[in-house]
């Protein structure tokens, strides 16, 4: 008995296999092709959206530089409506918050709050939270500033949170609380997120303020 199939038998087997299984192969290739095409289209769409959002952000920056507030508000509104999930919207809000700090503090608070609560990027949200606390302190809303800073997990921003907390307490006249916060910031600031030299200067100044007057010590 011949151990090998004849050429005709081999061809018949191939034909039979193709009839039974060929559509799986064709379907798999088709699915792969459709998936690859869809992925390419999606990437092109994302690139186009990013470019359009970037263009609007650049226009917004130019409007701010020209002090054209109406145009800046219009461009920010477009970013919010057309590119809600874009990082350029966060950056636009941060830009207008900085621009409005002096002349419209509430607007600055509103924009920073929107980034803090709405950003999809945790780092950007934390930065907005820190800036919001400073603006609230500038507006003498000290208790609210401390509430904004009351976050359990600050990650790599822990030293900066302690420093800003110290700034708020210092502005309130809470010398001991400020010294404690600055000291904590110094201990946590080894990752370069704070200016240790400037922080030490602020701490030293507060220590001098909190130290009893030598004349009073002698009188006692």
Q: What is the pLDDT of residue 216?
A: 46
Q: Do 57 and 114 share a structural domain?
A: yes
Structural domain boundaries enclosing 165: 154-211
**Average pLDDT estimate for 79-103:** 92
Residue where one domain finishes, among candidates 119, 134, 150: 150
Q: Which two tokens stand for residue 207?
A: 């220590």
Task: Say yes or no: 178 and 206 in one domain.
Answer: yes
Asked whether residue 33 is domain-assigned, the answer is: no
Specify whether 199 is located in the same domain as 171. yes
Lowest mean pLDDT among 34-38, 168-172, 207-211: 34-38
The answer to whether position 5 is within a domain reads no
Could you tell me what percent of the chain has a pLDDT over 70? 73
How many domains is the chain partitioned into structurally?
A: 2
Answer yes or no: do 88 and 173 share one domain: no
**Which of 135, 150, 165 is a domain's end point?**
150
Please, are residues 137 and 146 in contact by the beta-carbon 8 Å criterion? no
Q: How far is the C-alpha of 80 from the C-alpha of 60, rounded, in Å?
A: 12
Q: Give the residue among 39, 72, 70 at the shortest CA–CA distance from 57.
A: 72
140 and 168 in a common domain: no
Among 150, 170, 202, the domain-final residue is: 150
Taking the model in full, what pTM does it have? 0.75
Q: Which pLDDT value is given to residue 85?
A: 84
């Amino acid at each position: 008995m011949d151990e090998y199939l004849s050429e005709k038998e081999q061809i018949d087997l191939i034909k039979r296999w193709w009839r039974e299984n060929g559509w799986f192969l064709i379907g798999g290739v088709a699915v792969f092709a459709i998936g690859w095409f869809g992925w390419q289209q999606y990437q092109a769409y994302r690139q186009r959206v990013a470019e359009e959002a970037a263009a609007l952000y650049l226009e917004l920056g130019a409007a701010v530089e020209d002090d054209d507030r109406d145009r800046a508000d219009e461009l920010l509104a477009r970013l919010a409506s057309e590119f809600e999930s874009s990082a350029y919207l966060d950056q636009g809000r941060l830009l207008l918050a900085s621009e409005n700090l002096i002349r419209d503090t509430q607007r600055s608070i509103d924009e920073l709050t929107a980034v803090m609560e709405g950003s999809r990027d945790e780092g950007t949200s934390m930065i907005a939270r820190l800036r919001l606390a400073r603006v609230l302190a500038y507006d003498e809303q000290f208790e609210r500033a401390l509430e904004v800073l009351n976050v359990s997990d600050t990650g790599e921003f822990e030293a900066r949170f302690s420093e800003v907390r110290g700034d708020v307490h210092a502005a309130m006249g809470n010398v001991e609380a400020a010294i404690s916060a600055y000291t904590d910031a110094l201990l946590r600031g080894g990752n370069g997120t704070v200016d240790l030299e400037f922080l030490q200067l602020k701490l030293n100044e507060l220590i001098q303020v909190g130290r009893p007057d030598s004349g009073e010590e002698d009188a006692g």
